[in-house]
Amino acid sequence: MHDKPFLRTLNIIADWIIRIVVLNVFMVVLTIPIVTFYAGYKAAYSLFVDYTEDKTTPLFRGFWENLKKDFWRDVGVGALFLILLAVGVLGAYNYLRMLQNDEGNVLYTLGFLITAGFSLLFIMTMIYSVTVLYIAPEISLKNLFKVSLVVTGKYFFRSIVVIIITIAPVFLMISPMLMPIFVFVGLSVPLVLNVLLMRKPRRFLRGENKSV
**Residue range 96-151, pLDDT digits in tens:** 888 888 777 788 889 889 999 888 888 889 999 999 999 999 999 999 999 999 99
Q: Would you state the pLDDT for residue 202?
A: 94
Q: Nearest 5 degrees, angle CA 145-CA 26-CA 125? A: 15
Q: Classify residue 212: in a domain, yes or no.
A: no
Q: Would you state the pLDDT for residue 211?
A: 47
Q: Is 10 a residue whose pLDDT tops 70?
A: yes
Q: Classify residue 211: in a domain, yes or no.
A: no
Number of domains forming the structure of the chain: 1
Q: Whole domain around residue 182: which residue ranges?
A: 3-206
Q: Would you state the pLDDT for residue 3?
A: 61
Distance of alpha carbon 149 from alpha carbon 152, whole angstroms: 5
Q: Classify residue 197: in a domain, yes or no.
A: yes
Q: Would you state the pLDDT for residue 6?
A: 80
> C-alpha 182: how far from its chain's center?
15
Question: How confident is residue 27, by pLDDT bands cut at 50, 70 and 90?
Answer: very high
Residue 188: name the closest of 207, 203, 166 by CA: 166
